[in-house]
Amino acid sequence: MASWPGGILCKTQSSAGFAMRLPPLISTAIAAYAVFDTAKDANTTRSSSDVSPPLPTRPPEMTKPGRLAIIDGPGVTFEFSTGQPHPKNWIGIWHDYYGGPVNGSWVQDQLTWAWADGTHGTVEVDIGELPPGRYLAYFLAQKGYKELAKPIEVYISRNQSMRFIPDAFTTHNARVGDAFSADISGLLTNVKNGNMSYAVIPPSNADWVYVTSSGVIKGKPTHSVLSKFSIRATSTDNDTAVLPVAVPVAPRKKPLVRSIRVLTLNLWRGGRNVVDYHSKQVSFLASQDVDIVALQESYFQDGRRLAKALGWNVWQAKDVSILSRYPIGRVYREIEAGGTVRVDLDGDAKQLLVWNVHLNNAPYGPYDLCFTNYSTNYIQRREEWARRVQQVYEIVHRLKEYKERKPEFESLPQILAGDFASPSHLDYNKKTRDLHCKGRDPFPWPVSRRTVLDGKWRDSFREIYRDAWKVPGNTWSPVRKLNGDRPEPMDRIDFIYHKKLTTIHSDVVVVGDPKPEPYHGDNEWTSDHAAVLSEFRLP
């Protein structure tokens, strides 16, 4: 086993739970360990004279990295040791999907922390504000980000029963004779520690499938059928959870994917305006059987968070992110409003280009149209000032540039999804004028005109619902109903455009019965936008 410089964090048996003790990995380091001690005050440090370092119980080459289990309480107590003591050594906790130090450098601020002075001792870190989930704890040197011990996993359950977040789960497609793998471990919540066991249980029509100790479904399908079975997860204290799973199986040597379901959603600050947003978002995405998801306002690495839970692939930028059931084969240079990836639906045999954008939202055109006496020309100029038109032109010009240098942009089907922060000219005509701003003439919104007319993109929703009077398809807003003492303008500002695909169906999606602001906190729906979901047949 390779040594880890400086010290070790691990766990031992305590009155609150059971864990394994680790020996030292290098001669200068004394084995460290972490235990629960919920009776201690938060952010306190026990002196080294109060605790004797543990003795190794087996040779170093026989040990495994320790883990830290969490039970309900105001904090978690770590016992540590290091050959590099310093008053500003510290322990920090980050999400397990992103944020912890990399190669001794800062990536993202810690969620909670405490000093860890001395060669060894105990430190309680307050976790009172952290929701149930999986985290990583780091032992770091001198107010910096150099690791003194190998990071350990931290589980917070709040003494709730373990469960799978969705009621059921459909994986990506499998194919007869091909190896299949799907990770469902991230769908478990209220996990007390990492010592889990998984099993396939009846009823099942999939004798080819098995599940690993880490919660990964594997196998080689033997016949083309929708394979259905259930996975049971069991914790060390015999808490159990069951998840019904479906795996669509394509025939041997036939296309793996014939159609795709694409969803776009502005998360509304990641969903943080609604309680229990993570579970609600995971349940929603699992229930929609989607293959590709374009997210906006995923500022807090929410794409990574959701992809880890779903066992999917992800590309994450500062604002936007793209989730995919299938591998992301290439990431292209970002544009001002978003970015582009290539999704490999079936290796080299079937690929798709996906653009995701979030255009600037101020000044907002419908406010100009509904709340002012600005002329049509002046409102169009303000659309330019908002840079939305320029951001769309960048997509048009980037696509033209790529076609000359990258043949896939000429040959492959493409998706352009996102929050365009502007209505569609297809929705504004004489028949629909009273649906938006009463008394105003139809308005030629330049963003959608440039997208549809100059960019040659096709609006999937309007391909299915051509009459904007009968089916407005408004995505803004399920919860914003008033603007001061005036009605909030309702518009369709979220879109899924495409090239070289056939639209099978498209719809605007909201779950539950969202209460309007300011009563939205307990909504089942976690956004102030509606989602758009379109299904396409591949060429």
The string of DSSP letters for 275-306 reads TTHHHHHHHHHHHTT-SEEEEES-TTTHHHHH
The rounded Cα 171 to chain-centroid distance in angstroms is 16
Residue-level pLDDT at 470: 96
Residue where the block lists tokens 């704890």: 137
Q: What is the average pLDDT value for the chain, to the nearest integer?
A: 86
Structural domain including 189 reads 163-250
CATH for 211: 2.60.40.10
Residue-level pLDDT at 295: 98
175 and 126, same structural domain? no
Query: Which residues is 11 bridged to in the sheet?
Result: 34
Cα–Cα–Cα angle for 475, 388, 290, nearest 5°? 40
DSSP assigned state of 529: B
Query: Which residues is 265 bridged to in the sheet?
Result: 295
Structure tokens at 513: 């019965």
389 and 310, same structural domain? yes
CA separation for the pair 307, 191 (Å, rounded)? 18
- Among 250, 280, 308, where does a domain finish? 250
| Helix, strand and coil in the chain, % to nearest 5 | 15, 35, 50
The string of DSSP letters for 391-446 reads HHHHHHHHHHHHHHH-THHHHS-EEEEEE-SS--GGG-STTTHHHHSTTPPP---H
- Give the tens place of pLDDT for each residue, 363-402: 999 999 999 989 999 999 999 999 999 999 999 888 888 8
115 — pLDDT class (breaks 50, 70, 90): very high
372 and 273, same structural domain? yes
Q: What average pLDDT does the segment 29-58 reach?
A: 33
- Give the tens place of pLDDT for each residue, 274-284: 999 999 999 99
358 and 485, same structural domain? yes
Residue-level pLDDT at 75: 65
Residue-level pLDDT at 156: 85
100 and 140, same structural domain? yes
Residue where the block lists tokens 């989602």: 531
CA separation for the pair 114, 124 (Å, rounded)? 7
Q: What average pLDDT does the segment 314-320 reach?
A: 97
User: Has residue 42 got a pLDDT over 60?
Assistant: no
Q: What average pLDDT does the segment 134-161 reach?
A: 90
Residue 9 inside a domain? The answer is no
473 and 356, same structural domain? yes
Count of H-run helices and E-run strands, the chain: 9, 34
Q: What average pLDDT does the segment 188-194 reach?
A: 88
Contacts of 260 (CB under 8 A, 6+ apart): 291, 292, 345, 352, 535, 536, 538
Residue-level pLDDT at 9: 56
227 and 103, same structural domain? no
Contacts of 182 (CB under 8 A, 6+ apart): 171, 172, 216, 217, 247, 311
404 — pLDDT class (breaks 50, 70, 90): confident
345 and 245, same structural domain? no
Residue 31 inside a domain? The answer is no
CA separation for the pair 492, 507 (Å, rounded)? 12
Residue-level pLDDT at 74: 56
CA separation for the pair 95, 439 (Å, rounded)? 51
469 — pLDDT class (breaks 50, 70, 90): very high
User: Has residue 28 got a pLDDT over 70?
Assistant: no
% of the chain with per-residue pLDDT over 90: 72
CA separation for the pair 112, 145 (Å, rounded)? 14
- Among 198, 221, 250, where does a domain finish? 250
480 and 379, same structural domain? yes
Residue-level pLDDT at 76: 83
Cα–Cα–Cα angle for 266, 393, 302, nearest 5°? 20
φ, ψ (nearest 5 deg) of residue 424? -105, 140
Residue 7 inside a domain? The answer is no
454 — pLDDT class (breaks 50, 70, 90): confident
356 and 381, same structural domain? yes
Q: Which of 154-168, 190-204, 341-355, 446-460 reaches the highest mean pLDDT?
A: 341-355
User: Has residue 61 got a pLDDT over 90?
Assistant: no
430 — pLDDT class (breaks 50, 70, 90): confident
| Residue 474 near residue 508, CB atoms below 8 Å | yes
User: Has residue 18 got a pLDDT over 60?
Assistant: no
- Give the tens place of pLDDT for each residue, 218-265: 999 999 999 999 999 999 889 999 999 999 999 999 999 999 999 999
Residue 314 inside a domain? The answer is yes
- Among 250, 284, 307, where does a domain finish? 250
Q: What's the per-residue H, E or C state across 448-513?
A: HHHHHHHCCCEEHHHHHCCCCCCCCCCCECCCCCEECCEECCCECCEEEEEECCEEEEEEEECCCC
455 and 343, same structural domain? yes
CATH for 265: 3.60.10.10
195 — pLDDT class (breaks 50, 70, 90): confident
72 — pLDDT class (breaks 50, 70, 90): very low
Residue-level pLDDT at 77: 85
185 and 148, same structural domain? no
Residue-level pLDDT at 193: 81
DSSP assigned state of 167: S
What is the H or E stretch that residue 314 is in? strand 313-316
DSSP assigned state of 361: -
Q: How many domains are contained in the chain?
A: 3
Least-confidence region, from 2-16, 266-280, 298-312, 524-538: 2-16
Length of the chain: 539
Exposure letters 497-514 (e unless 16+ CB within 10 A, then b): bbbebebeebebebeeeb
Q: What average pLDDT does the segment 521-528 reach?
A: 98
CA separation for the pair 244, 217 (Å, rounded)? 12
Q: Parallel, antiparallel, or unpaired for β 259-266 and 292-296?
A: parallel
Which value, to the nearest 10 degrees, does the dihedral of the CA atoms of residues 355, 361, 367, 373 take?
A: -100
Residue-level pLDDT at 132: 86
Contacts of 90 (CB under 8 A, 6+ apart): 113, 114, 115, 116, 139, 140, 143
Least-confidence region, from 138-147, 349-358, 446-455, 499-508: 446-455
DSSP assigned state of 214: T
CA separation for the pair 115, 44 (Å, rounded)? 8
Structure tokens at 225: 């059928």
- Give the tens place of pLDDT for each residue, 329-362: 999 999 999 999 999 999 999 999 999 999 999 9
Taking residue 288's Cβ as centre, other Cβ atoms within 10 Å add up to 17
